[in-house]
Each structure stands twice: as structure tokens, then as C-alpha cells.
Structure 1
């Protein structure tokens, strides 16, 4: 069933909260208040107790202090222990954030393939996952368009393929109904395959929600750990990981006479990075795709592991390193003073992150931020899950397994302003290309932007080797979800291209099955809490919010100041409050960069992109991070412009516009 449209609006245009438009763009949209919950629209007055739950019953609620540097806070103990090694600087970089966010229905997948096996079952798990984790899921449906009778035949073939894959509710809609559904379509469209069960989410918000809940239930996550070697002694793998930190952070620490790896603040003592025993997860590159431990009365599995984007990063282990909170104390701190110590974001446009860097997080990769190795860590593990995205074949070769090769496929998206989001409500595809698959798409994102793309370039071909950012495809032409032929305790989850996000919950259950076959005894965790409180909350227009120069409405970060933080807007375009930034900082995952806050709260993701001459939100956020972490402002990771963009400029020139209009007129 299609998501209920918000009142007073023809098309749903946003996700979990409504603001981010300036007064010229608001028109009737400003009157709409609410959120998407479990795929359906929920009005603001109905959000309390559902989308906005009782915080005492949820994981992910604000803690008193921030996390240790480059490692998670563990708020609970599990009978089965898990560690995740992430080579980038956050749990949602690379392919996790750089994908369409579509929860496909599964009609396009070849019957009998792993794509077909896991896509539809995974699709059906998303509404309940969103009700528990509140990452924002919109059940908007998809349309595959036909512009001639030959393409209509393809639509019928797709529908039959979908039915063979177990996909329900598929049907062909004719032109009259089609244009009632989507009035702005090209007039040449004559029919479409309609799948009401397709949906969309923001992939990095999905991954962050999964990881926060996993950590709150006993999982440990370490970021900036690149796996460089794996050996085995008896039944135990020894995983060698390189711990790196950004050069700016290292320099700031050295000026203060502090250790580069943060061990003087973060660890309980002993040799950093050693573990007593256990099993671990290894990830060389790409990003953490997500993981959650759960008990589900309706699913015969103790652990439910999920991924966003391409695959999952998970490993079950019997022991992990013992950490203690950093003990850093926050006191009254003048944000205006902190902001004054910060320079503008670096970069002037035209810079390009290389393909190898994209495999390890793009702007969050060690090379992009001039990373410096600060230590080595050995993780001992009985079971390993290799889900390293574009480098999963390299991880496999560390144990002598050369049974597959990853052939990266790159692509570009264009993300348009929210004033274009009204042009569609469904996810719209052309008929699929016989070689490249579903091809480009048009859809409104959960937050109301219009997204176009992606293009596709196979990076193993010489003429495409230096074009754009990567996602993994395997030499087998299908997903690789299996125990390694070299060691049954080493599980591959590799080559997970589209529709990997949709299939990820079902893939996770398969990983659990494989671990059980390998001998892992999954003991139920009776204290598991599947519910997570959202970071971003719906707002009622500008009611109760305050904007002004730095220092006018800022709090000092103390609990007594929460009401003040809740009204202080630190990002004008997206109406992000100081309290939302602080809530993200006090959760379970380490955050030490403005990019990390950007993905969690949308601060700096609006029309001005954190322009220092507008509201200077990037510096405001950096100051809050420094205050919450008790660090020098110069230790905070900043957003380089243009980050991972392949464009040399933000806006097209007049000559480029004329050329584009010329080509469009020829095609029409």
C-alpha cells in the first residue's frame, strides 16, 4: 500500500522532519508537520509515543559524555560479543552513503540468483525495522516506464520475473492512470510496471541507526582501523589492523603534549588494541554497512544483522578489548570563543578524491585527510565475516582465497534542491538496459530533494578507471554469501551491488545460518533492546526556534540548559538545533568531525552547504563537537570542499546551460 500523503500537499516531499526551506520555498509545504514511520506518513500530533517514543524504553538516548576517540561506547553486555573494524572515519562512508537508498521489490532480479533469493524477503522487513530503529522509511512505490510497445513487452517480462521471485502486488498501469499518478512524466510514456512495495530511505541514516543500536546492545566498533594481515593459530584468527588518525588531529595533539592515539584518555591501560580472546569482524575498506543484534519472536534467529548499501559488516566474538569512558568533563564553554578559533572549511573546488580512496571512505579515507599511522592492533577471533566492499577480494586473499575478484563500478548522482522534489512521488526507472541493468532513476528522497542517477562505469575497464566513486561488483555476476573454501569459519559477504540495501536484512539472517553451520553457538540475549530513539525530531515550523549570531542563543552544554539548546538553531537551512547536535554527540558512536554530525542531523546539508558567509553552521557545529569532546577546536575534523564531488564547480555556466538546452531540444 502506498504511503499516505501528508495533508494539504499533492506529493510527499520530505522525511523525518519538515524544515529546511527558506520563506520563498515554503508555500503549502510549511503547513505540513509529521514524519514517516514504518513506511507510512504520521502527523505531528500522532508522533508522540510512536515515532517519538518514551526515551526510557529506547537505546540511543543521550549519555552524559561523548565517546572515546575512534571507538564506540559499550552500554550493555552481550552473551555473544562482537567487534567491528572500520577502515574509514565513520560507520557510513563510501558506498553506504553514496547510493540511491532504494528498497527494491525484486522484480528485476534473475530467478534463482542470490539477488532474487534475498531482495523480496529483505524488502518486507523494512517497515518493522523502521518502527524499531526510526531511521525514516518511505513506502512510495516504484514505476518502470515504457515509451513503446517493445518496452511494454519488457514490462510484462519483468512482471513475470517478479512473480517467479515471489514478489507480490505487481501490475501494469496504462497511460491514463500513470499520468494521474505522475503528472510530470515525459508525454511519450505509455505504460509502467507498478510495484507498491518499493520504498526508500536515507542509507547512511539507516546504517547509523543500526550501528548505534548494535553498540547499545554490546557490540564494539572501532573506526580508522585498516586490516592489513590475517593469520591463524589453531582455531583462532589473528587480525592485524593499522590504526590511523588525521594529520590535523595529530598536529593539534602534539601542540598540547598529548598522545596521538588518544590512549591517555580512552583506554584503561595495557597495550592498546590487544584482545584476550574471541572472534572479530574484519573490514579493510568501504564503510560499515550496518549491524544489529536482535531477538525476534517471528524470526528463528538470535542475531539479526543488517546492512545499508552494499553489504554488512559483522563478526560475532567471545571477548573484546575492555575500555573505559574517557572521563572528559564538560563545563561552561563559550561557543563564540571556540568558533573564533576555527578557520573556514578547506578546499576551493576542483579537487578529486581518487578511486582507491573511495574504496576506503572517500573524504573519510586516511589518504584524503593525510592520515598518519599511530599504532597497530591485533584482534583474535574464532569467526570472521569479510564484508569489505570493493576490497573484499583483497581481504579474502589474506587467507589464500582467490575464488573471486571485485570489479568496481562507479557512478555519479545529481541531488537537486527541495524546490524540485514535488516533480515526483514514486521512484521512476526507464526500461532496464540488458547489460547495465535498471540504469538511471528519478525519485524524491525522504527529505524532499530530487535525486537523478546514477551513471555506471565499470572501473576494471581502462577507459573508465579515473572517473568517479566506486561500488562493488564481483567476477561471478552474483552476490557472494558463503563460507570460504579455505576456512569455513571465514564468511564472505562480497560483491553486494544493487539491490543490496533491500536484501540486507535477509542477507543477515543467512550469515547467522552460516555461522551456526560453522559451529557458533548463538545464545539468546534476554536483555536485548530493539528500539532506538531518533536523533532528528519533527518541528512545528519556526515555533519556539531562535536564530542569531554565534553566542546569542548558545548554551554551555549542561543538562540544565537543554531547553535553551532545543531552541537554538545552529543550521539555518535545515533548522538543526544545538540539542540535536549534542544528542548525536552523546550517543554510542564516536563523532569527531563535522561530516559525522552532517549525516546524523543534516547540519550543513542544506541549500548553502555550510557557507561561512551565510550562517557559518560548519564552524558552529565544530565548536559544539570540541566542547562535547573536551578537545581543542583544531582537533575536530572539518568538511573539505568539494568533499568527494567530481564537479569542478557547484553551478553550471551560461555556456554550459545553452549547450544543455540545445541537446535537450534535439532529443525532443
Structure 2
């Protein structure tokens, strides 16, 4: 019998597992893949957003800004590469400049630090390779970049070191409520637990529907990327965005924490939750749009392309709540800025447990992570 069972070992599931390992609890995490962080966590933009894009008063806004503020200390503690490199949203005309003001004002309401709208001269000073047609930019000095899969791996390593059981190659088939507990049926056997966290990413609605009436839908959205060689990594210092659209934040150009250059993603609504294929026409579109922001990107220095799937929900905001079935918690719809918000989502999950009546008592012997050099 476990106290808590977590379904899904992406950045959210591993983060919750690590936080729970600080308490006197028996915890397990189930992952259907052969390793942790194998889906959305390993295939995203690796950006720690400032928090100016999320709508005022939304859960996304609140958790993005808090999560961003926690990154530096947490990554240092876990020996995970993180850099507060800053970000720019470019404006190429007066309409886009007006939208920068909307984002700026939203960011002020959301309490995002380090925001300013800069003119063409300052923009060229910060990023000499920005296209000359850009007339202004929203600058956010608090934005950063991270290695999300290394982050998730560090989280689960420390969680396991502190007693969490990790079960890979374990697919959940059914969930049954029995008195005050849950029987979680998998292809590897039945797990018994008092509480369940549903952190299943693009499959979270399907897991929810195994135990509770439907209350949200996940609408998978695919994005494709280029990863360019380190010879291209210095084309930009900061993460450079174009003005966002209804489908997302648009094509970005960013350095990675390992010195490469990342260009993407596009946005395609899809039905197949496992479709991480790339297509020539979509990659050509990304090349065209990326070159609109940054001059002379040499795409012949490409070392790989990849695609990831975002867990867009029909609610339009993060879902961090106890379901209609007591003791079953949904942490779902964690699309961008989900990576940025992840440390704060983890803390919100602990609050859900406390509100639901779970008895949480901190350990005296929590093992802090070993430092790596």
C-alpha cells in the first residue's frame, strides 16, 4: 500500500515525487515509457518564461512568475544547467508595437520583474543579428533557459535516493476506488494507494476518465524544431520571440544551455497523441520565420530536427485541482509556460494534499542532492 501514487514521469510528475520525498510517506511514480522525461519534457523550447504572456489572474500567470523565481536556487541545488539569459519579443510594425505594450502592461499586472520596451538602437546593441526591420522589442531580463530532461532526471534521482519507487514500462489500464483507497491496474500489476496524482501530460484526460466523469479534454498540439550546431549558438544571446498569435508564442530563436541554437516551434493541432514526426514543408516554414527574426542563420549546420506535443486543454488554463473523486488530483493541461511554472506547480500539488486532509510530516533525514561539477 502506497500513500501516494503519481502517474507520469515528466517534469511535473518527477517534481512532485521529489517534493513528496521530503515527507514521511510511501510514494511511487508510474511511467509507461522506458525512461523519465521521454515525451513533452524532452521535446520543448527549454525556456523559463518571464510571465508577461499569460492572461492576468490566470493560474498560468501566477505559477509562471513564482516558478521562474524558484529556478536559480533549485537548479543550483540539483546541479542542473540554467542561465538567466533574458528574452526579447520583436515588433516589426506599429500594430505589433501596440501589442508589445499590451504584453508589457500584462507583465506589470502579473508582477514580472525586469520588463521594459526598448527602441531600435538598444535592440541592436543587445542583439546585433536581429533583422534590421525590427523597430522595437519587449525586453524581459528575468527570462531564462534550462535543460528540461536533465532537470527531470535530477529530480527523480533525488526522489529515488529519498525512498520513492520508480516503475518504468508501466502503463495504467484502469483505476478503481475502493472505500478510502484506489486500486491502480497496470500492465505490470495492481498498485494500491490512498491518493493519486494524474500527471500524464497529453494523456491526462484519458487517465482522468478512468476514475471520474469527463471534466476536460486534452487537445494535442505538435511543434517542430531545428537544433543547430554550436557554430550557430552565438547568433543570439537571448531568447528572441516574434509577436504571439492565437496558436502560441510563434517561432523563436534561442541559445541552449549547452551552446547550440534552437529554432521553432510551429503549431499544428493533431489527433494522434503519439505523432512526433517532422515534415519538410513545416521545417521550411520554421526556417523562413526564424530567418525573419535573426539574420544569416546557417541551417546547413543543423544537427537534428524533432517534434514535441503540447498538452493544450479545452479550459485554456492549467488544471491543478482535486477531481470530483476525493483523493484523485489532476495536474493537467500543462502546456507552455508549464516548464517555467513547474517548481510552483509542485508546491501547489502539496497544498492540494494538505487541503484534502493528507497527514504530511517532514522527514528528519532528507538526503540533499550530491553536487556535480
TM normalised by structure 2 equals: 0.84
- Paired residue for 2:16? none
1:402 aligns with 2:241: no
Contact 1:78 1:218 in 2 (8 A): no
2:75 equivalent among 107, 119, 130: 130
Task: Work out whether residues 77 and 218 of structure 1, in 8 Å CA contact, stay in contact via their aligned partners in 2.
Answer: no
Match of 2:311 among 472, 478, 489: 472
For residue 117 of structure 1, the aligned residue among 62, 82, 97 is: 62
Match of 1:439 in 2: 250
2:189 to 377, 389, 397: 377
Measure the CA separation in 2 of the matches of 1:179 and 1:220. 51
Aligned ranges 1:181-192 → 2 under 5 Å: 181-192=126-137
Q: State the partner residue of 2:167.
A: 222
1:387-440, Cα deviation, whole Å (9 max, x unpaired)? 10111111111113201111100010100011001100100001111x112111
Q: Any idea what the Cα deviations from partners look like across 1:526-580, whole Å, max 9, x if unmatched?
A: 111333333xx4xxxxxxxxxxxxxxxxxxxxxxxxxxxxxxxxxxxxxxxxxxx
Distance of 1:232 and 1:241 partners within structure 2: 15
- The alpha-carbon deviation at position 77 of structure 1 amounts to 9.7
SS in structure 1 opposite 2:312? coil
Higher RCO (Cα < 8 Å, 6 or more apart): 2
1:80-95 equivalences in 2 (<5 Å): 80-95=25-40
CA distance in 2, matches of 1:79, 1:119: 29
SS at match of 2:320: strand
| Matching of residues 194-593 of structure 1 within 5 Å | 194-242=139-187, 376-433=188-245, 435-460=246-271, 469-485=308-324, 487-534=325-372, 537=373
Q: What SS class does the counterpart of residue 412 from structure 1 fall into?
A: strand
Residues 209 and 532, structure 1, Cα contact 8 Å, conserved in 2? no
Distance in 2, matches of 1:503 and 1:77, equals: 20
Contact 1:175 1:190 in 2 (8 A): yes
Query: How far apart are 1:112 and its partner, in Å?
Result: 1.4
Gaps of 5+ in 2: 1-20, 279-306
Instruction: Report the secondary structure of 1:520's partner residue.
Output: coil
Partner of 1:108: 53
Distance, in Å, in 1 between the alignment partners of 2:119 and 2:250 is 22
Question: Does the CA-based 8 Å contact 1:140-1:425 persist in structure 2?
Answer: yes
After the TM superposition, which parts of structure 1 deviate over 3 Å for at least 4 consecutive aligned residues? 464-469
Asked if structure 2 preserves the Cα contact closer than 8 Å seen for 1:78 and 1:217, the reply is: no
Once the 2 structures are TM-superposed, how far is the Cα of residue 466 of structure 1 from its aligned partner? 7.7
1:436-473 deviations in whole A, cap 9, x for unaligned? 12111000101111000011101149xx9986642211
3-state SS of paired residue (1:176): helix
Distance 1:514 1:420 in 2: 44
CA distances 1:359-408 after superposition (whole Å, capped 9, x unpaired): xxxxxxxxxxxxxxxxx311101000001011111111111320111110
Q: What does residue 656 of structure 1 align with? A: none
Structure 2 residue matching 1:212: 3-state secondary structure:
helix
Q: Structure 1 residue 147: deviation in Å?
A: 1.1
Deviations 1:69-118 (A, max 9, x none): xxxxxxx9962121000110001201110011100010000011111110
Matched position secondary structure for 2:57: coil
Rounded Cα–Cα distance in structure 2 between residues aligned with 1:505 and 1:465: 26
SS at match of 1:422: coil
Separation of aligned partners in 2, 1:523 and 1:418: 47
Q: Distance in 1 between matches of 2:212 and 2:359?
A: 27
Deviates more, 1:165-174 or 1:497-506: 165-174
Q: Does the CA contact (< 8 Å) of 2:23 and 2:360 recur in 1?
A: no
**TM-score, structure 1 normalization:** 0.47
1:220 deviates by 1.1
Q: Which residue of 2 aligns with 1:143?
A: 88
State whether residues 44 and 308 of structure 2, in contact with CA within 8 Å, keep that contact through their aligned partners in structure 1: no
Counterpart for residue 156 of structure 1: 101
Contact 1:143 1:428 in 2 (8 A): yes
Alignment check: 8 A CA contact 2:224 2:265 kept: yes
Output one character per residue of 1:501-540: Cα deviation in whole Å (capped at 9) or x when no partner: 1101111111111111111111011111333333xx4xxx
Shift of 1:217: 1.3
Q: Deviations over 1:457-503 (max 9, x none)?
A: 01149xx9986642211111111111002x12000001100000110
Distance 2:127 2:346 in 1: 35
Whole-Å separation in 2 of the counterparts to 1:470 and 1:194: 28
Structure 2 contact 276–308 (Cα < 8 Å) conserved: no
Give, in whole Å, the separation in 1 of the partners of 2:183 and 2:54. Answer: 38
CA distance in 1, matches of 2:86, 2:351: 31
